[in-house]
C-alpha cells in the first residue's frame, strides 16, 4: 500500500484522485521490498468512501513491482486503508470521544455514517490505537502531523488495523 500525503483531508472525488495519480512520478516511488523505480500500473479496483452525499465509488490504481511481484494500491492519505469512513471523519469521532462531546454529531453531518460506524471507530481506537499514541506521545491535534507521526513510529496510517506493509510518499512541489 502506498499512501500519498495530501494537504486537504476533506476532498474526495474521482477527478481529485486522478490528479494525484497523474502527477506522481512513478520512478520516485519505492516498493515495500526496498526497490525504487520498479513500479508500473497493474490494474484498478473500486473502493467506496462514505460522504455526506452518499457513498462515493473511487477507481483506485494498483501498481506492480517488477522486482518482487507485489502489488500496491495508491491511496491519498485522507483514506484509511481497508475502511470506508474517511480519516477526517474518524479523527473527528475520536476527538469528540476524547473531549467527551457528542461523538454522534458526525452522523448528522454525514448521514452515510451511522451510530454503529461511530461505535466501531471508537472500539478500534481503544483496542489498537490509544496505547500506541500514548506510548510515543503522539497528539491528536493536527491530522497531518498525526499521519506523519503514525508512519514514523508504526509504518501505518492512523486507524489502520490490518498490518499490511504501507509507505507514505510525500510529494514535493
Once rounded to an integer, what is the mean pLDDT over residues 161-166?
83
Strand 71-76, strand 39-51: pairing: unpaired
Shared domain check, 140 and 106? yes
Shared domain check, 60 and 15? yes
Confidence tier at 166 by pLDDT (50, 70, 90): confident
Q: How far is CA 158 from CA 44, 69, 79, 148, in A?
A: 24, 27, 10, 9
Once rounded to an integer, what is the mean pLDDT over residues 6-33?
90
Q: How far is CA 139 from CA 27, 109, 132, in A?
A: 33, 25, 11
Burial of 107 (0-12, 13-18, 19+ CB in 10 A): middle
User: Rounded CA gap, 53 and 97, in Å?
Assistant: 24
Shared domain check, 44 and 95? no
Per-residue pLDDT tens over the stretch 62-92? 999 999 999 999 999 999 999 999 999 999 9
Shared domain check, 75 and 23? yes
pLDDT of 74 reads: 94
pTM for the structure as a whole: 0.90
Confidence tier at 172 by pLDDT (50, 70, 90): low
Shared domain check, 139 and 103? yes
Shared domain check, 57 and 30? yes
Shared domain check, 9 and 76? yes
Shared domain check, 54 and 92? no
Shared domain check, 62 and 7? yes
Shared domain check, 148 and 104? yes
Helix (H, G, I), strand (E, B) or coil at 58: strand
Once rounded to an integer, what is the mean pLDDT over residues 42-54?
94
**Per the structure, how many domains does the chain have?**
2
Shared domain check, 101 and 43? no
Per-residue pLDDT tens over the stretch 132-151? 999 999 999 899 999 999 99
Shared domain check, 61 and 35? yes
What residue numbers bound the domain in which 24 lies? 2-84+163-169
Q: CA torsion 138→142→148→152, rounded to 10°?
A: -10
Helix (H, G, I), strand (E, B) or coil at 66: coil
Amino acid at each position: 500500500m502506498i499512501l500519498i500525503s495530501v494537504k486537504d483531508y476533506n476532498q474526495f472525488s474521482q477527478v481529485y484522485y486522478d490528479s494525484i495519480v497523474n502527477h506522481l512520478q512513478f520512478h520516485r516511488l519505492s516498493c515495500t521490498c526496498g526497490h525504487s523505480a520498479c513500479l508500473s500500473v497493474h490494474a484498478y479496483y473500486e473502493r467506496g468512501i462514505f460522504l455526506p452525499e452518499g457513498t462515493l465509488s473511487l477507481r483506485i490504481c494498483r501498481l506492480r513491482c517488477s522486482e518482487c511481484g507485489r502489488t500496491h494500491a495508491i491511496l491519498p492519505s485522507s483514506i484509511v486503508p481497508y475502511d470506508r469512513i474517511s480519516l477526517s471523519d474518524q479523527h473527528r469521532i475520536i476527538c469528540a470521544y476524547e473531549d467527551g462531546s457528542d461523538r454522534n454529531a458526525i452522523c448528522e453531518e454525514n448521514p452515510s455514517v451511522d451510530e454503529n460506524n461511530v461505535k466501531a471507530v471508537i472500539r478500534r481506537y481503544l483496542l489498537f490505537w490509544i496505547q500506541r499514541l500514548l506510548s510515543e506521545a503522539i497528539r491528536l491535534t493536527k491530522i497531518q502531523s498525526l499521519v506523519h507521526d503514525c508512519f514514523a513510529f508504526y509504518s501505518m496510517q492512523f486507524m489502520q488495523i490490518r498490518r499490511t506493509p504501507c509507505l507514505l510518499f510525500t510529494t514535493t512541489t
